[in-house]
Amino acid sequence: MKSWRDFALMLLLAIGIVLVLFLLPEEEPLTRIEQPKNALESEVILSPPVEKLYGIPVDSYEVTTGKVKRNQLLANLLLPHGVSMQQIYQISQLPDTVIDERKIKPGNNYSVFSVNDSTVGYFVYEKDPLNYVVIRLDSDPLEARNGTKPIEHRVMHAAGTIETSLWVSMQSIDANPMLSVELSEIFAWTIDFFGVQKGDMYKVIYEESYVDSQSVGIHSILGAWFYHNEHDFWAVPFIQDGVRSFFDEEGNSLRKAFLKAPLRFSRISSGFSNSRYHPVLKIRRPHHGVDYAARTGTPVHTIGDGRVTKVGYQKRGGGNYVKIKHNSVYSTTYMHLHSFGKGIKQGVYVKQGDVIGYVGATGLATGPHLDFRFYKNGSAVNPLKVEAPPVEPVFEENLASYGMIRSLTIGMLKIL
């Protein structure tokens, strides 16, 4: 089995290399040198490409690099290199889309390109790990352009077993912990990530983006598997109608009519019950919802498309609340909100995942949490037991193409 596993990993690496070569920009071609008139027709002399940094030929300049220190401004960076205050003022007057002196951050890189007489030709400031601005100082007027560093997409994989949480598990195997966010997004309609258990397992193949050999985030998920509640959950990416979505092993969309939970990361502090002891009223009464404990200000997302029917303050104890009618059958209510989402008011149509409010402790509450309620035909049902219907599956005319991608994806995941 080990040989097969090694073979599969080598195949995966080969696919990754092909993807990287396909996605990376073309290398700068070699420069052709004019040959003497008496040279043979077949004789071609080539010189290596000129080494460039930020698109600037480095062999023409002496390059000094540094990092912005705390409280430093453009003058602090450029005056020591002989740049005049007049030129520094001209730079400060450039559009904010090019450079904004108020947003120069400590720790960001900068470079000064000087010629032999110490005259500065270019000043480069890195706005973030990916984007930079090039300012030419030896021209009148000075010139400026934005630039972007080349991005390398590396095909990688991760597999692990959960002990406490998916985030901690990712850290324990030295994988990018943001993978946990990506997986929670993909499986949001089928797995309640507040209810993951010790012993749950996962495997994922993905592309991670690198700039200057530093990771800048997850580019895309190429396939994933999650084992939860003694069930296998597969995620196979497939483009249909120009949209990239994830489907299960049978070609059903992983995207359901409703999200499994209205919060990304929190914990269930109280479940659905017909007789729960109320911590404020000190009596037992029905609690036909699920309480999610989270910090004040945590975004609350609508679990499905629908129209806002009520926004306000519930005097009976619910505090600030939002009610959404999703269709003729289903509706949801979100209570104890600290505040409402931007533009949320009665009659507004919201899309699945929109922020409709923020966690708070308004009304009868001992601490910040969301009281989430789910109604079917006007009757409260346990949100954790709702089986939402899937959206459109893989179309029949696409099943053959999907079948090949599914076989390759699941085959590689099984070998990991």
- Token couple for 65: 């690099």
pLDDT of residue 265: 60
Q: How far is CA 164 from the centre of its chain?
A: 23
Q: How far is CA 414 from the centre of its chain?
A: 26
Q: Where are the alpha helices (DSSP H) in 24-139?
A: 74-78, 85-92
- Token couple for 359: 């966690």
pLDDT of residue 17: 41
> In order of start, what are the domains of the chain with their CATH numbers?
55-148 (3.10.450.350), 152-247 (3.10.450.350), 267-385 (2.70.70.10)
Per-residue pLDDT of the chain (416 residues; tens, 9 = 90+): 344 454 455 555 455 445 434 443 444 443 343 444 444 444 555 556 668 899 998 888 999 999 999 999 999 999 999 999 999 999 989 998 899 888 899 999 999 999 877 789 999 999 999 999 999 998 888 899 999 999 999 999 999 999 988 999 999 999 998 999 899 889 988 887 877 889 999 999 999 999 988 899 999 999 999 999 889 999 999 999 888 999 999 999 998 888 888 987 655 756 544 554 445 545 444 566 888 888 999 999 999 989 999 999 988 788 999 999 988 788 999 999 999 999 999 999 999 999 999 999 998 888 899 999 999 888 888 888 777 777 889 999 999 999 999 999 999 999 98
Angle at 309 between CA 308 and CA 310, to 5 degrees: 100
Helix, strand or coil for residue 13?
A: helix
Cis peptide before 129 (omega within 30 of 0): no
pLDDT of residue 277: 47
pLDDT of residue 232: 95
What is residue 254's DSSP assignment? S
Q: How far apart are CA 254 and CA 62, in angstroms?
A: 55
Tokens 């009223």 — which residue?
Answer: 281
Q: Bridge partners of 208?
A: 154, 218
Q: How far apart are CA 314 and CA 339, in angstroms?
A: 13
Smallest Cα–Cα separation from 192: which of 389, 384, 386, 391? 384
pLDDT of residue 50: 67
Q: How far is CA 89 from the centre of its chain?
A: 37
pLDDT of residue 38: 46
pLDDT of residue 108: 95
Q: Bridge partners of 350?
A: 306
